[in-house]
Every structure is written in structure tokens, then in C-alpha cells.
Amino acid sequence: MGFIKEFKEFAMKGNVMDMAVGVVIGGAFGKIVSSLVDDVIMPLVGKITGGTDFTKLVAKLGEGDDAAVLNYGTFIQNVVDFLIIAFSIFVVIKLINKVTRKKAEEPAPEPEPSNEEKLLGEIRDLLKKDK
């Protein structure tokens, strides 16, 4: 099998396409959550904590031009981003599992007996009458 043909088969499999769509949607969802955290949640948290702007929270280690700057405020925002994304994914997976479980619990309807089974049932019933 040629390399290009093999790659084409791989790329066109359903799971690869689903994963690609998931990555694109996940990236867009990440931007929405980042905006929610940066533009809505963190300003409210800053207001509650006395007007603190978390993006400006830094710690300098050392002095002068060679001082190391730790942007722990940005880290705090990224942790909040992660927690919101993780919670959102948890809720979505929980809902999917609940729907899937309900489908699995529903009993399948009994298939209608074939003509042969119906005929055998009638014969059985007639034999019972004759006794």
C-alpha cells in the first residue's frame, strides 16, 4: 500500500475527523472561558478583595536588571481558567453518561414472532384442547 493512500485512509477515519472537530471546538471554548475569567470573574474577585488587579501581581527575586519576575497573578488566573474548563467538561460528560445510561436501561421491544412460531403456537394450543 502506498504511503499517500495509507495516510488518506488514516485521515478519513471517523475518529480522526471527530477528534479534529473536538480540538477546534475545544480551542474556541478555551477562548470563551479565558474571556469569562479575564473579563468577568477576575474583576469581580478583584473588587471583592479590595480592588486587586490579579494580572499585576508580581514578585521580584533579586535586584536590578537581572531580577527574576514571578507573575503569580497570571498564574492565579490560569488556575481559575483550568478549574472552570475542568468543571464544564465534568458537567458535559456527566450529562452524556446520564443520557447514555438511560438508553442502555430501556429494554428493547420484543420482536414479533415469525409466522412459523405463530403456527407452532396454534398447533400447541390445539393439542392442549384435544387432551
Task: Show pLDDT as tens, one digit a residue, over the chain (131 residues).
Answer: 688 888 877 777 767 777 788 888 888 888 888 888 888 888 888 888 887 777 788 898 888 888 898 999 888 888 888 888 888 888 888 988 888 887 766 777 788 888 898 888 888 888 888 76
Q: Phi then psi for 69, rounded to 5 degrees? A: -110, 120
How far apart (Å, rounded) are the C-alpha atoms in residues 53 and 77?
11
Domains and CATH numbers, the chain: 3-130 (1.10.1200.120)
Q: What element of type H or E holds 69?
A: strand 68-70
Nearest Cα to 76, choosing from 48, 54, 44, 53? 54
24: alpha, beta or left? (left if phi > 0; alpha if psi -120 to 50): alpha
